[in-house]
Amino acid sequence: LFKNKAGATINYSTTYENNDSTVVIQPAAPINFISKYTVSVSTTLKSVAGGSLLSGIDVNFLTQIDSTAKFPLLTDNALLDKVQQQTFKYFWDFGHPVSGMARERNTSGDLVTTGGTGFGIMAIPVAIKRNFITRAEGLARTLQIVNFYQNNCIPYHGAFAHWINGSTGATLPFSANDNGADLVETSYLMMGLLTARQYFNGVDVAENTLRNDINILYNNVEWDWFRQGGQNVLYWHYSTDKGWVMNLQIKGWNEALITYILAASSTTHGVPATVYSNGWKGANFINGNTYYGYQLPLGPALGGPLFFEHYTFMGVNPNGLNDVSANYATQTKNHTLINYNYCRANPKGWFGYSDSCWGLTASDYESGYTASSPTNDVGVIAPTAALASFPYTPNESKA
C-alpha cells in the first residue's frame, strides 16, 4: 500500500531489479514535493517459493523540496516593496473590524493579540511613508485601536492581557492561570503606541488627541507593581483572581529587554536600576562562546530563536548601543549569523535548508506552535526569521 499523509491511496505500478530481489514502486502520477508518504508491505507478500516476511514493514519518507523558481524574478527594490506591502496587509486588511487590533493568527476570529497590535501600529508610519495608505487612514486606525483599549479593554494595574476579544474587549485566557496582565505583551503595545505618538505630531485636534490618549495609557502602566512586593525583578503575569500564581520572572537574554527599558523610562511608575541589573541580568545572561566563527555576547547556546533579536529592536536602535555586558550591534548581528550558518550547515539533514532558505524562530507548524532554534530544530523554516533580520544581515536576508 502506498498512501499520503491523509491516508489516501496512491496508485502505482511495480517492476523488479537485482534478480527480482528489489521491488521498484512507480507512482502513476507525480507526487507532491515536501510531503509525507508511507509505503506499507504486509506479510501477504510472498516469494516464488512461498516465503513471507516475518512481520509487516512501514516505510515513512518525506519528499524533497522543489527549489526551482515559481514566479518571475523581481528587482531588489520591487521585492522589498512587495514584502513590506504584503506584511503590512496582514495588520491592515486582516485587522479586527471592531477594534482594529491584530489577530493572533489567520484562523483566530475575534481573538486579537496585544503584542501583535503593537507591531501593527509600528507598521502604520511605514505604510504611510511607502504610500500604501494615507496619513488620515493611518491616524484613523490608530485612534480606533487606542479608543478600544481605553473604553473596552480591562486594565490590570495599567497592563493588558495577551489575548483579548476584538469585539468586546473581554480578556481571553492565554492559559488556565494566564487570564490577566501580560507585562511583556503590554510593553510591545506601548512600544508601538509611543512610535505613533512621535509620528503623529500634527497640531490638529485629532493628532493632539491621539498623543494625549497614548500618554494616558503609557502613564497608567504600573511597572513598579509588577515587582511583586518590591523585589528587584519584574514579573510577567498578574491576574485579579489568580494573583501571582504564574510566578514567571522576566529575565534575559530574550525578547523582553524592551519591558525593562519602558519600565525604567516611566515617569509615573518607574523602576530603579537595581531591578534591571539584578532582575533582567540574572542567571544565564552572559554567553561569550563562539559558534560558526561568531562570538555570541548574550543568551543561550547558539542564540535561541531569532525573535529574541527582533522584538525589542523594532523600537531601540542597537547600533552604537553598548553596556558592560555587550555591544548590541554585535549581539543582534552575530545571533542572526549563527542562526543562518546553522541552517546552512543543516546538521539534521532537513530537505530545503540552504543559504536561500534559512531562519529559525517561533511559528506555527503542523503539530501546533514551537519556538524553533538551533537547539529546537523541528525542520520548519519560518519566513519571518530571515525577513525580520534585514537590519542585521541584509545580504543573507535578501537571498
pLDDT, tens digit, 9 for 90 and up, residues 8-52: 999 999 999 999 889 999 999 999 998 999 999 999 998 889 999
pLDDT at 100: 98
pLDDT(245) > 90: yes
Contact 95, 101 (CB under 8 A): yes
pLDDT(65) > 90: no
pLDDT(105) > 90: no
Contact 234, 271 (CB under 8 A): yes
Rounded CA-CA distance 257/313 in Å is: 9
pLDDT(283) > 80: no
pLDDT, tens digit, 9 for 90 and up, residues 251-262: 999 999 999 999
Which distant-in-sequence residues (6+ apart) come within 8 Å of 83 by Cβ?
A: 387
pLDDT, tens digit, 9 for 90 and up, residues 174-229: 999 999 999 999 999 999 999 999 999 999 999 999 999 999 999 999 999 999 99
Contact 193, 217 (CB under 8 A): yes
pLDDT at 67: 83
Q: How far, CA to CA in Å, does 249 sit from each of 79, 168, 169, 176, 299?
A: 41, 30, 27, 18, 16
pLDDT, tens digit, 9 for 90 and up, residues 209-223: 999 999 999 999 999
